[in-house]
Amino acid sequence: MAGRVQLRTLGLGKRVPSGADELVILSDIDLEVQRGEVLAIVGASGSGKSTLLALLAGLDTPTSGRVEIEGQDLFALDEDARALLRGRSVGFVFQSFQLLPALNALENVMLPLELAGRADAEQAAREVLVRVGLGERLWHYPRHLSGGEQQRVALARAFVVRPKILFADEPTGSLDAASGRDVIELLFELNREYGATLVLVTHDEGLAARCSRTIRLTAGRIQP
Amino acid sequence: MKGSLKLALRMLARDWRAGELRILGAALVVAVASITSVGFFADRVGQALVRDAHQLLGADLVLASDRPWKADVSEEITGRGLLRAEGVSFISMALAGEGEAARSQLAGVKAVSDSYPLRGRLRVAAAQGQPDAPAQGAPRPGGVWLEERMVSALGTPVGSRLRLGEATLRVDAILTLEPERNASFFNVAPRLLMNISDLPATGLVQEGSRIRYYLYAAGEPPALKALEAWAKPRLERGQRIEDLETGRPEVRATLDRAQRFLSLTALLAAVLAGVAIALATRRFVERHLDGCAVLRCLGATQARLFAMHAGEFVTLGLGACLIGCAIGYGAQQVIALALEDLMRTALPAPGLLPALQGLLVGLVLLLGFALPPLIRLRNVPAVRVIRREAGDAEGAARAAYVFGMLLLAALLVWQAGDLRLGLYVVGGFGAAIACFALVSWLALRAVASAPAARLFGHLPGLRGSAFRYGLANLKRHARGNAVQVASLALGLTAVLLLGFTRNDLVEAWRRSAPPDAPNRFLIGVQPDQVASVNDFFRERGLGPPALDPMVRGRVVSVNGRPTGESDYQEERAKRLIEREFNLSYMDAMPAHNELSAGAWYAPGAREVSVEEGIARTLGWKLGDELGFTVGGERFSARISSLRRLRWDSMRVNFFVVAPAALLRNFPASFISAFRVEPGAEAALNALPQRFPNVTLVDIAAAVRQAQAVVDQLVAAVQFVFLFALGAGLLVLYSALIATEDERRREAAVMRVYGASRAQIQGAQRVEFLAMGAIAGTLAAFGAALIGQLVASRVFELDLPPNPWVLVAGPLAGLALLTLNAWLSARKVLRSAPLAALREA
Ligand SMILES: Nc1ncnc2c1ncn2[C@@H]1O[C@H](COP(=O)(O)OP(=O)(O)OP(=O)(O)O)[C@@H](O)[C@H]1O
Ligand SMILES: [Mg+2]
């Protein structure tokens, strides 16, 4: 049932030059993620989690190996084609929210739809914002929203395009425990409703336990 | 693409609303407003200047001939809808009194039609010693207007009668100013102005008399051009067309200088605006790098990102340019109204070209200085969303700046209409920016160095830890701060240039037609009279009049090849080579001349020194051998130097001068330009009697008029400087806020980690003070240097160095950054650390 494999890596590795020699950040990452699966990536700080996520999403280029999304070799595409692919089928949630400060909540959520040239951007964005409980804060700028609210806007922005696969890098890392919990609940709910595959980087073992599968990174390798 | 444009417009609206583009937009509006208002105004003043200058000619176009003009020419003028006047001039003896009391005086007679002058006014006084006023037209039939010294010579006050040929005419007024006149004071007797209808009665106009006939025309430029084109091929020998260029070199010099002043100011405003825009865009880009990384995560391609931002900026640019143009037009209108009184006449309506130029300059500024940083946005790697330090590659942007600079340079050269001026400004600014950046970087590092730190540590108010932290900051931010200091220095340079150097330049300009300029010419002194003329002056307590010998000659060959009219295309060159001109001899170069090439000749050499303008017109070069004929004799001499003359100096100038040994034996007469202080004129009354053949010409009125023109121009130019000043202040402002974000973020972090307000403030103060002192010092030297260069190279004026600039620069720098430290501290420290962090 190869059709159910949504994301696959083969011998994925990343090295960066560091002075005279090379720093190995990731090596020999072989991974398969099934459609609809919720995968947690855990590991110590500096173990390479964010780097792996960036490679999986095609934000960065590997020094060895490959990444396939739905059978498409990501790095056989050029950066622009990868961008288009991201626009079509990938969503992101970041630790630091990454909302555009000059845009209000509604506009931030509309942005990916506008980039895709969707005419119903505003309507769709409103609906998702209402869904994440921010129906009253549509016109607020990020700097006037709390961290939890900002991350909920980010969730809305990620799901509004109905991505096939969603990457989240420590989505609660910048939040206090309570709003972190709220955001995680919302993330799981939305993921169920929208039926996306979820790849989640976290420090939180409790959270990892709620995922369908966990992989552990140690010094750039998957711990067996 | 269509989608991108729509998105671009949306992003524009959003960024605008969020205040992200306000500074950039303001920079553009001010830039375009200043450029267009300067352009509009310069255009109008330029037109007015040309028109006023025509007043000095008495018309827009003058046709001169040594024979009466045929009726078809004069009909052609009116037939083309132009105004026409006629004039006839000749030298004749005027007589007054009877018997014992009879007196005579050679008069430069000019008979004019009622419509004369077509441009400008003559000035007359009702009696000797009374204030003068503009005259209504020309003398009435039966009346004459006399120059004052003619009245003294003949003893004919207003109301008395004189005889000219067979006619008796009544003296109606004292002629104090005849603009057209000054062109040729060398060979004129005092003026007698009469009505042309009285001319036949005098019986003086006969075959064989040396008479010149003039036709004056004035009206719309196209009709004038057409008339000129029509008349040119029909001119016969002894007939020519006079215009400003050929008639009045000294007026031309003043006009050119004014035009350069205006152009320079416009250029200054443009370059400053460019810097402000570069700074504002840089800030915009810095604030949008993260956003662009996010956009790339969300699926925007590089082309898309670029199209979006380019669309956003171009739309902004167009809008800002249009607003700028409108403001520029309005401002210019207000200035023109305010200056109307000063300019004495309504200014002509401005042309459309300045608006177009303003638009173009605005767009080029925007694209030239905003495009490079936008390339940075386009190239931002998506991975920046995860690793913030990723992708701050400024390299590509730097290369693109070069493109922007070149584009701007080309445009500015075009706008200035003067290659040299444009290159000076653009090159000067480029060099200044590079130099400022390098020196500030070095200076910042030096200030932050350990020995300096120990030295400054003793100053009060610089508390220990804050001080150390401030110095550490200086070192850590060395590169960013260097850019900021260089920009500040640039803005300050502009302000200093406009604040100090402008005044000095204007003063130097005023001095160039100095109040102590000569106001009398003495013409026709014979060699055997030189000693007695000097005695005459000495006896009356006047300084000796510095008589220069004058030998009339002609150039007949160049490097052995005969030369003549047919070698030249240009009218002026033809005339110059054809006619006899004045040579002089002297062994030392006159103080008011300036050597521009070669070396001054030795007393015994067969060499001459030539004025650079005539050499250029006639194609003579250093080292050419010129063959002269003087009084039937031939000799040749090599050009060993070129001189630059001040035509507006009211001094005696010669195209060609030679060593005394070479010309001493030819027949010569002597000429002098000297000054008589007001009140001492009476001492000269006896001069015409003692030396009947000598002509004394009063050029005081002409000097006064030249001075008035300069004053008027200076006033216009001064105002235009305000715009450039505005642009300079904008640069200062953009430079100050350039690092505000970063400082605020840092301050917030420091406060989170427990730094007190006093510590942060102290640290910032240290940093800002050092930057202010460096920027101010750089600006002081920059302004002093640029001022000197501009004065000597562009305006050909001597500018004494102004020591105050060197004091004011550093003080202004310190004051500015102290104020900024205070304001920015208020902003950063007023809010709670959390809010500050969140905004950062
Ligand atoms: N371009 C790079 N150049 C040099 N070192 C890098 C680069 N990218 C990542 N690293 C290093 O690789 C290691 C892994 O980084 P990464 O951000 O993936 O860790 P992480 O597991 O996400 O850690 P954290 O839990 O703290 O976010 C770190 O030591 C980091 O400094
Ligand atoms: Mg990480």
* pLDDT of res. B484: 82
Q: How far away, in angstroms, is A167 Cα from ligand 1 center?
A: 17
How many CB atoms are closer than 10 A to CB B337? 11
Q: Which of A59, A80, A107 sits opposite B297 (nearest CB)?
A: A59
A154 to chain B, closest Cα gap in Å: 11
Element (H, E) at B705: helix B700-737
Closest CA to B619 of B651, B678, B577, B665: B577
How many CB atoms are closer than 10 A to CB B29? 23
CB of B480 within 8 A of CB of B739?
yes
Q: Cβ A115–B297 below 8 Å, yes or no?
A: no
* pLDDT of res. B433: 82
The whole-angstrom separation of Cα B629 and Cα A143 is: 89
CB of B345 within 8 A of CB of B53?
no
| Per-residue model confidence as pLDDT tens digits over B422-445 | 777 777 777 888 888 888 888 888
Q: Is residue A51 part of a domain?
A: yes
Q: Is residue A50 part of a domain?
A: yes
| Per-residue model confidence as pLDDT tens digits over B176-208 | 777 655 434 434 567 899 999 999 998 887 765
Torsion (CA) B142, B145, B149, B153 in degrees, nearest 10:
10
Q: Cβ A79–B302 below 8 Å, yes or no?
A: yes
| Per-residue model confidence as pLDDT tens digits over B773-786 | 889 999 998 888 88
- Decide if the complex's ipTM is over 0.90: no
Q: Is residue A30 part of a domain?
A: no
Pocket around ligand 1: residues whose beta carbon is below 6 Å from it? A 16, 23, 25, 43, 45-51; B 387
Domain boundaries, chain B: 1-58+253-417, 61-242, 435-515+699-840, 520-674
Q: Cβ A59–B385 below 8 Å, yes or no?
A: yes
Q: Which of B17, B290, B383 sits opposite A59 (nearest CB)?
A: B383
The domain spanning residue A191 has which CATH number?
A: 3.40.50.300
Closest CA to B256 of B786, B616, B647, B656: B647
Supply the residue whose CA is at minimum distance from atom 17 of ligand 1: A50
Domain interval for residue A168: 35-58+77-222
- Is pLDDT of B795 > 50? yes
| Per-residue model confidence as pLDDT tens digits over B238-277 | 787 776 555 455 555 665 666 667 667 777 777 787 788 8
Amino acid at B817: L
Q: Is residue A189 part of a domain?
A: yes
Confidence class for position B379, pLDDT limits 50, 70, 90: confident
| Per-residue model confidence as pLDDT tens digits over A1-40 | 445 889 999 999 999 888 888 899 999 999 999 998 999 9
| Chain A residues contacting B via beta carbons under 8 Å | 50-51, 53-54, 57, 59-60, 79-80, 83-88, 90, 92, 94, 98, 100-103, 107, 111-112, 114-117, 141, 143, 157, 169
Question: Which of B9, B292, B295, B297 has the most A C-beta neighbours within 10 Å, making it the best mutation to test the interface with A?
Answer: B297
Residues from chain B that touch A16, judged by Cβ atoms under 8 A, are none
Please tell me the total count of domains within chain A: 1
A223 to chain B, closest Cα gap in Å: 23
* Residues whose CB is less than 8 angstroms from the CB of residue A34 and which lie 6 or more positions away in sequence, other chains included: A4, A5, A6, A197
Q: Determine the residue of chain B that is closest to A50 in CA distance.
A: B386
The whole-angstrom separation of Cα B277 and Cα B827 is: 24
Which single residue is written with the structure tokens 């077509």? Answer: B118
| Chain B residues contacting A via beta carbons under 8 Å | 3, 7, 10, 14-15, 17-18, 20, 287, 290-291, 293-304, 381-383, 385-387, 838-839
The whole-angstrom separation of Cα B813 and Cα B437 is: 16
Bridging pattern class, strands B143-147 and B167-177: parallel
Q: Is residue A12 part of a domain?
A: no
* pLDDT of res. B183: 37
Question: Which of A41, A85, A100 has the most B C-beta neighbours within 10 Å, making it the best mutation to test the interface with B?
Answer: A100
CB of A149 within 8 A of CB of A176?
no
With 0-12 / 13-18 / 19 or more C-beta atoms within 10 angstroms meaning exposed / middle / buried, residue B241 is: middle
* pLDDT of res. A2: 45
Residues from chain B that touch A84, judged by Cβ atoms under 8 A, are 299, 301
CB of B208 within 8 A of CB of B21?
no
A224 to chain B, closest Cα gap in Å: 26
- Is pLDDT of B657 > 70? yes
Highest mean pLDDT among B23-27, B207-211, B380-384, B782-786: B782-786
Supply the residue whose CA is at minimum distance from atom 3 of ligand 1: A16
Residue A166 phi, psi dihedral angles, 5° rounding: -125, 130
Ligand 1 pocket test, pick from B387, B388, B389, B392 with the greatest ligand atom count within 8 Å of Cβ, gives B387
Paired tokens of B270:
């443009």
The whole-angstrom separation of Cα B17 and Cα A101 is: 11
The whole-angstrom separation of Cα A106 and Cα A129 is: 7
